[in-house]
Every structure is written in C-alpha cells, then in structure tokens.
Chain A
Amino acid sequence: MSESLIINLSVLILFLPLFGFTTVIFLGKKFPKLYLFEVAILTSALLLSIFVLYAKLTFFNVKDIIAEFTWISMNNLPFGDVININLGVKIDNVAAIMLFVVNLISALVHIYSIEYMRGDRYYTRYFAYLGLFTFSMLGIVITHNLLMMYIFWELVGLSSYLLIGFWFHKKSAADAGKKAFIVNRIGDIGMFIGILILFTNYKTFTFDVIFEQIAAGNLPFGSEAWLTAAGILVFMGAVGKSAQFPLHVWLPDAMEGPTPVSALIHAATMVAAGVFLVTRIFVMLTADAMLVIAVIGAFTSLLSATIALTQNDIKKVLAYSTVSQLGYMIMSLGVGAYVFAFFHLVTHAFFKACLFLGSGSVIHAMHHEQDIQKMGGLKKKMPITYWTFLISTLAISGIPLTSGFLSKDGILAGTLAFGKLTGHWLIPITGFTVAALTAFYMFRLVILTFHGEPKDHHKFEHAHETPWVMTAPLVILSVLSIFIFYTPNPISPDAGWFMKNWVKTPTQVVPDNTRYHHMVESTEEAKAEIHGEIVHSVEYTETMHWAHYPAMLMSLIVAGFGILIALIFYTWKKVNADKLADKLKLLYKGSLNKWYIDELYDKTAISGTLNFSSILAWFDQKIIDGAVNGSAWLTRVVSKFSGWFDTFAVDGLVNFTAFFSGFVGFSFKKLQTGKVQTYIVFVIFSVIILLLLFKPF
C-alpha cells in the first residue's frame, strides 16, 4: 500500500464524475441511455472511495497524505518575492470519510433518480448535472489549498443553481435558483476577502503552510484582530453555503428543485461543505471567531427549528430541519467540539438524505402532493418508506440506538462543557431547546404523513409503494443510521472507532492568548495522565467527561418531551393544535411566515438595492448620458475639423506622393526594357563604378 496509490485513486475518483458529466452533457441528446453510464461511473467511484477509505484508515491512520505541484510560479514581483501557487490533494481521515459519504449518497441518489425522474424532458441532462455536482463536491473535499477550495466552492454553487432551477420553466424554480446563487455570492465575497487576507500575508493558499506560519507566531498584518477577521470572513463562505443566519433564506426555497437533488445537495453534501470548510480552518480560529461562529450556529438552529414547527410542506419542514441541524454543527465547531461536529455531519448526511429520499418517495406516490395536511395513513400503503423514514426520524430526534443520538449527544455535551467553562450558558440552553423542538416537529411530520386517517382519499387510493430502485437507497441509508456502524456502545460515542481512532480534534495554531483558556494545551505530564486522550487540556477533557451523562440525560428528556407533545397534539388529539395556534396567534404567524425574514430582506436589502439602482439609473441617464452626449457633440466638431484637415492636408500629401511616384516611375520606365542584355550592360557599368570607387589595385 503506497501513498501515491491513494493519491492517484482520489484524483481518479475526483475526475470520474467530471468525465461522466462531459460525456453525458455532450452525447446525452444522441444517446438517451447514457444516464446509465453516469450511474455506473458513480458506482465505480463509490467502490474506489470505499477502498480509499479502507486503505487510509488501515495503513495511514495518523498520517495526512499530501501531493502537490506548482501551478503558477511568479518571480521578480515588484515586492521582491517569489510566489508559488501550488495545487494539490490532501487526504486525511476527514477527507477520506467525506469522499466515502459524498460518493455513497451521490451514488444512491443517482440510482434513486432513475425512477424518480423517469419521463422528465431533460432526463439525461439531469444526470449530467448530478455528475458535475459530484465532481465539484469531491474537489472541495480533497483539495489542500484555499484556492482550489474556492474554485470548487463556486462550481458547487453553479451546479446547485443548475439543479435548483432544473425545472426552469417553473418561475418559482428559476427564482429559487437565482436566489440561491445570489445569496451564496454574498457569503462568498466574505470568504474571498478572507482568503485574500491570508494570501496577502502568507503568499500561499495551502492550508498547512498557512497554519505553520500562524503557529510560528506570524499573524496577518501582525495583529490578532486580523486573524479573527480572517477566520470570520472565511467562515462567511460557510454561512452562505451552509445556510446560516442571516443567509439561510435560500435553502428552503431551494426545495423547488427535484427531491433527490434536495437530498444530495441541500441536505447531505453541499450544505455540509460549509461545515467542512470550518473544520478545515478550525485550527486558525481565535476564541472571538469561535464565539461568533457558535452564536450564529446556535441562533440559526433555534430560528429554523421554530419555523419548522408550523410548516405544512413536507420538504419545507425537512429544509428547515436541515438548516437547524447545520446550525447545530456550526455551533458545535464554535464551542470546540470538532469531532462531534464532523461526526454529526456524517450521521446527519445519512439520515437526512434518507428523510429527503423518503419524502421524495411519498411525493412520488402522492403524485406530487407536498402538503402534509392532505396526507395521512400512508403507513399501510408504503411500509418500507415508512419504516426507513421512522428510523431516520428517530435518529434526527436523538433517540438511543441511533447514530443521531450519538452525535447529537456529543454536540450537546460539548456545548454544556463550553457553558460550564466559559459561562456562556445560553448556548447549551439553545441546544437543548432545539433538540426538543426537533423531536416535536419531526414526529409531527411522521404522524401527519403516515399515521391517522387519510385526508385526501382520492390520492390515497392511488398511493402505492415505490419500486425497489427508490426503496433500496432508503434502506441502505436508514441502516447506516444505526449506532453499530459507529460504536459498539450505543450510549457512548467515545468508545467508538470513529471517535477513538479516526477523527481527532486538531490542535489549534493560534497564539495561546487568543484561545479559550480551556483550549490551551496542558503540560506534557498532565496529558499523559488521561491515556493520551487529550487534545486540549485536562480541564477541558474532564469537563467533557462530566458533561457526558447530564447531557445525555437531558437530551433524552427533551427529546422525549418533544415526542410526547407531538403525540398529544396529533395522535391523541388531547389538545387542539389549531386552537393553540389561535391563542398564540402572534408566534404562530411569525413561525408560519418564517419570522418575516424574507419580507424584511425584501423591504430593506432588496428594495434598498433597487432604490439605489434607480438612483444610479437616473445618474446614468442625466449625468453620464449627458456627458456622453456632450462628448459626442464635441467629437462631431472635432471630426468636422479633422475631416477638413483630411481632405486638404492629408489627402493633398497622399495625392502628391502618388503623383510624385508616378512621375518618377514614368521617367525611369525606359530603363526597364525587359531585355536581360540591357541589364547586363548596367551591371557592367556598375561593376566598373565599384572598381573605381574601391580601387583594389
């Protein structure tokens, strides 16, 4: 097993979907069956990524495999430097796991889409786009520098735009695609500035080199504030892509795209790219930056959980739940629970993909009915969909024996420890509240969709279980939501291989005084005491251990509470939900209308921009156009004059030249007799003249 093999395979995995994309997009019209080729490519990429994951974890567990080459070398720059821009691949455990996750979900979604999208007008194009997306996402995962990260970041944005607006003939879909693209752009500007701050200072895009420089005490522009700013700015990219407040508004609208796309891009992989980015830059985040990240994450998760409570569109509920869970991960990173954030990223990818695909199955069966108020009783009709959906719901609600329980519990423990160590108690409180809300709205969704009496009998009669190409991915994903794949002990993720061997919290590189006190490493001796488990400090590790059981207990209680309320409301009907909504009219309206954030943006940012634009338009018309017209008038005057000048001076000169040439030619025409002999006579005389001139004798 050699490193180069892993690198080569990873690069192959990266380019396989691109190959699929180009083939299908160019030849798809002629050979409609090519979508099978795309599916086959993804399947082979999945197999290769399983191999890479296995090889990486088995043979190079601790080592990061990096391969790079110099793309652009700039010498003799004005500031007297040599800048090499390297491109390269970094396969650490995180990247290897992500490779597998992305490929798995992508392959399953491909298979699922064969049935779901059947009969669509742009069937092959859809698969081509999926290939493009997979390529870009894999690029983000395996790159070792910010430049490539940014490029693939934008590519992901592009493919997301294409897929959201896949049904572009629907205005809402086209608008949603545009919205996603523009909102993401706002975040990307921040990310771009952040990257430029780092590049200006370190003359490189490579993560590891930047981190080494920071570890050596070389701060951007020599100040900690700039380091914090760089961290937050790069994080802004994640805010856009992972749909964090205030840029979360695009994700629910993105549900206009086909449901498998929502599962792949807007639930499992692309939105997780933001979280992945933060894990990549985690080591260079200062305490201030981390606090900002934690607060944004916590607020996002709370906000979207409250919105999810009242939504009636099955995909909208899941979309807000996605935003909420992403906020969870971001919050987890902000409080320093790196491992759990990544763990949750993986588990969430599986069960959220399963939920979305399950909802797609329901929508497919119900002939594109998405309103859960009109569903119900589907349990009997669609048993496989129901059971897989239920397992995933249990996972997202954090019920023991599921993967979601492990990761969520870890995150909650992390926030609890954070609260205890720093006194920011609001963050753990938010975390637990969101856990309760999640359990409630997810069970509301399940109960309204699958239990009770069917509300729309006509559609219910026609509903049927979807074919196996759609259910098989559901089964695979729901099985992956069971704890056994991550740990042998269903209540403690610490015992699992994921925590123990695969992913470790990296040591921060920022100066000690800019870290949280508890994230400054303890002495070597203290480390040795707790069987090498520490990455940060004894204090932190102990607090985490302390937080483990309370967090678990509380998360169980709040989840149970949420489920209980859902049952009371919707199964036993002890409390009439509508009446309660009437009583809490203000809150209900706010939640139903997404707290009017879209309207707020409409009133402020968008109309502001429009007003500003019309001012600019006025300015354009009056001032700029005036200037342009004035200059046009001036130009005409000048042209008149120069025309006159042309006619008399320039043309005169030209005519004179022509006349002169003609005259000379006419005079000398006689010399050109066309007779070789005459020329030879000339030659002789010329030679004589030369002889006389140089007098060689």
Chain B
Amino acid sequence: MDFYNIVFYLFALITVVSAAFVVTTKNVIHSAFFLLFTFFGVAGIYVLLGADFIAVVQIMVYVGGILILLLFGVMLTNKITDVEIRTGTIHLLPAAIGVGVFMGALIAVMVWTNWKSVPTEIPLTTTKTLGNLLITDYVLIFELLGILLLIALIGAASIARRDKE
C-alpha cells in the first residue's frame, strides 16, 4: 500500500460516492454540489494517470463552466423562492434492477478481461506535447472543434432567445 494506491482509493471513493449522491438525492442543488465533488475526484484520477493538463482542463471547463451552466439552468427553470428544489423520479425499480445488473456485468467484463497492459512512460508535464499535437496531427479536428464551438455559441444564444409565441 504505497502512497499512490492510497491516493487512488481516496479519489475513487470520492468519485463513486459523490456520483451516487448525485443520482439519488432529490434536491437538485445538492445534486449539483455532489457533482462538483465527482468532477474533482475524476480530475484527481486524471492526475494519477499522468494527464495533468486534462485534469486542469477538467476542473476549469466542468467546474468553472458546465457546472455553473447547470446551476443557471436549475435557477432559471424553477421558482427561485423555493428553498428546496426537488426533482421527481420515475421507474426507480426497473432502473435500479437494470442498472445494477448492467453494472455487475460491466465490472465483470472489466475484471475478467485479460488486458494487455503496457505502461507508457508519461512525461512529467504533458502540456507541451499536447500543444504540439494540437497544431500538427490534430489541427484539422482542432479547427473543426473551434468552428463547432462557435456554432454552438450562436445556436445556443439563438435558441434560448427565441420568444414564445
């Protein structure tokens, strides 16, 4: 049990437990806060996997952007005066059974599959490498994603602004 393992189990625990709360708690605001912890846990796992840049991006984009957006979504679609914004649930039982079996099957697949593991030497910092790749091998995708983001920006604005007739 070295330090690496301990840190992994810690982060894995944070991730899984908070994710479980995200999908079970009735309060939407609580869900959002637990989601924050999940994102942090996932970012920690990224760090453990040597993806420091991705981890930072994860925190910045998910926590700084998406989560805030989701919270705005919650705020804008509920009466702000409600202290507890609750969400209804549907077919809990079939979902619980289905997802339980599904999770079991998935974990079984993951565990019993004989993965050919070839640990790669990941440099201490990946930012430079990723930067180089972005403007060489992946430049086309990079540009396309830029355009996509622009379109999403304009599209989101135009969809959200459309007035009710």
Contact = CB atoms under 8 A, between A and B. Distances in A.
Same complex: yes
Interface residues of B, number: 13
Contact of A681 (B91, B105, B109, B113): B91
B164 to A, nearest CB: 22
A8 interface: no
B14 to A, nearest CB: 26
A677 interface: yes
A615 interface: no
A691 interface: yes
Interface in A666-697: 675, 677-678, 681, 684-685, 687-688, 691-692, 696-697
Interface in A500-523: none
A688 B90 contact: no
B90 A677 contact: yes
A681 B98 contact: yes
Contacts of A675: 90
Interface residues of A, number: 12
A688 B112 contact: no
Contact of B102 (A677, A687, A696, A697): A687
A681 B112 contact: no
Interface string A429-449: 000000000000000000000
Contact of A696 (B90, B94, B99, B109): B109
Contact of B113 (A691, A692, A697): A697
B1 interface: no
Interface string B100-121: 0110010011001100000000
Nearest to B105: A691
Nearest to A690: B105
Contacts of A691: 105, 109
- Max count, chain A CB within 10 A of own CB: residue among B99, B105, B108: B105
Contacts of A681: 91, 94-95, 98
A684 B102 contact: yes
A285 B152 CA distance: 87
B161 to A, nearest CB: 25
B98 to A, nearest CB: 4
A697 B109 contact: yes
Nearest to B114: A697
Interface string B39-55: 00000000000000000
Contacts of B102: 684, 687-688
Contact of B98 (A688, A692, A696): A688
Contacts of A678: 91
B94 A688 contact: no
B110 to A, nearest CB: 9
Given A678-B91, A681-B91, A697 B98 contact: no
Interface in B82-97: 90-91, 94-95
Q: Which DSSP category, helix, strand, loop or mixed, fits chain A's interface?
A: helix
Contact of A688 (B91, B95, B105): B105
B87 to A, nearest CB: 13
A449 to B, nearest CB: 94
Nearest to B104: A688
B37 to A, nearest CB: 25
A684 B101 CA distance: 9
A685 B102 CA distance: 8
A162 to B, nearest CB: 68
B108 A677 contact: no
B99 A677 contact: no
B90 A684 contact: no
Contacts of A684: 95, 98-99, 102
Contacts of B94: 681
A681 B101 CA distance: 12
Interface in B116-155: none
Q: Which of A675, A677, A681 has the most CB of B within 10 A?
A: A681
Contacts of B108: 697
Q: Which of A675, A684, A697 has the most chain B CB atoms inside 10 A of its CB? A: A697
A688 B109 contact: no
A38 B66 CA distance: 81
Nearest to A696: B109
Contacts of B113: 696-697
Contacts of A692: 105
Nearest to A683: B98
Contacts of A677: 90-91
B116 to A, nearest CB: 16
Nearest to B99: A684
Nearest to B108: A697
A157 B112 CA distance: 92
A691 B94 CA distance: 18
A469 to B, nearest CB: 76
A684 B96 CA distance: 11
A233 to B, nearest CB: 75
A684 B105 CA distance: 11
Nearest to B97: A685
Contact of B101 (A688, A696, A697): A688
Nearest to A686: B98
A692 B91 CA distance: 23
Nearest to B101: A688
Contacts of B90: 675, 677
A677 B90 CA distance: 9
A691 B102 CA distance: 9
A697 B91 contact: no
27 contacts: A675-B90, A677-B90, A677-B91, A678-B91, A681-B91, A681-B94, A681-B95, A681-B98, A684-B95, A684-B98, A684-B99, A684-B102, A685-B98, A687-B102, A688-B98, A688-B101, A688-B102, A688-B105, A691-B105, A691-B109, A692-B105, A696-B109, A696-B113, A697-B108, A697-B109, A697-B112, A697-B113
Interface of B: 90-91, 94-95, 98-99, 101-102, 105, 108-109, 112-113
Given A685-B98, A688-B105, A697-B109, 20 more contacts: A675-B90, A677-B90, A678-B91, A681-B91, A681-B95, A681-B98, A684-B95, A684-B99, A684-B102, A687-B102, A688-B98, A688-B102, A691-B105, A691-B109, A692-B105, A696-B109, A696-B113, A697-B108, A697-B112, A697-B113
Interface of A: 675, 677-678, 681, 684-685, 687-688, 691-692, 696-697
